[in-house]
Amino acid sequence: MREFSFFMPTKIVFGQDVVKKAGDGLSLGQKALIVTGRSSARKSGALDDVTSVLKGEYVIFDQVENNPTGENCLAGAELARQENCDYIIAIGGGSPLDAAKAIAALAVNDKSPLELYGGWENRALPIVAIPTTAGTGSEVTQYAVLTLHEQETKKGLRGDDLFPTVAYLDPKYTASLPRQVTIDTAVDALSHLVEGYLSNRATQASDLVALQGIAVWGGVIPALRSGEFSMQDREDLLLASMLGGITIAQTGTTFVHALGYPLTYYHDYPHGRANGMFMASYLEYTHQYAPEKVETVLELLDLPSLEAFRELMNELFKDFVGQLHVPEERIRAYAEKAAQTRNVSYSLGNPSVEELTKILKDNIL
């Protein structure tokens, strides 16, 4: 008998000029805290679109760092309290969107960022999410991934009230992204789709979303290889990213993310690129436990074999092959840290520290 739940409370508005057409739908209160990074919202044109149609007062917090820390989010929350903001508009890639979620919780709860991982009492401020990259899918998830220096890693925070109330997705906001950022974030989206589909928490409902997203992503492979992106390609990547977010909102991610986090924390490796390093090995490992599902992934991507998938990842990141240097003695420490995460527990096969160490060595050394 089938049993599953599927919770996705975010209203999604997708298409050209959806922010400009939003009208009153962009306002969820009396005064907004606009949360963004230092430049992406302006370069993409999203910030200008928001401020041109937003009704009511607003204040801008544009100090979100790449891979935001709890302290960074606390600064935004303090500004929200000082300015009596009653909702958040998040504009940017994964970092601003994730930071906005933590800010939304911290603004109305007397807690330190680290204490949020134990839960909070007051419902987070409502959030409008406007992505300017096609990778994290954070606009449709209940997760906020923060950098925790106390634990020397990145770690996901979660709460149902962190789902944005509404997400506005316009592919034109991704048009200003450099080629490599487009590729890095695209591979992040693929990792969400594939990991969600192959997670031991996958359901028939989440699989429908994941399979659609993988198929859409597969259609953009020629553009990813050439580095030339039409607006249709950008639209497809944004759609795939959103579908990836919806997928992992139900399933979580697997050991690909767990292995990638140390590379981002210790070596400043972009998140999607870090995931891409391990995806071929992940598919090879998971093929032992779900061969038909792995073959389905390859078929939807129009790739003839696991080796062809590895060749695709190597091609997309050819400028970076061999440039990451990790001392061999640290490899096992990374594997041990990864093994303690929920991501690994969501992986088919329940990989051991030894298996994770081998995958790290095979792809780094």
| 153: phi then psi, degrees, rounded to nearest 5 | -165, 175
pLDDT in tens, 238-292: 999 999 999 999 999 999 999 999 999 999 999 999 999 999 999 999 999 999 9
Whether domain 178-364 has CATH 1.10.540.10: no
Name the residue ranges covered by the structural domains of the chain: 11-173, 178-364
CB 76 within 8 Å of CB 62: no
pLDDT in tens, 178-190: 999 999 999 999 9
pLDDT, position 266 = 93
pLDDT, position 353 = 97
Runs of H (alpha helix) within 24-87: 40-44, 46-53, 70-82
The DSSP-derived string for 267-320 is H---HHHHHHHHHHHHHHHHTTT-HHHHHHHHHHTT-SSHHHHHHHHHHHTGGG
pLDDT, position 39 = 82
- Domain 11-173 sits in CATH at 3.40.50.1970
CB 129 within 8 Å of CB 100: yes
pTM of the model: 0.97
The DSSP-derived string for 98-140 is HHHHHHHHHTTS---TGGGGG--SSPPPPEEEEESSSS--GGG
The residue ranges of the chain whose pLDDT is under 70 are none
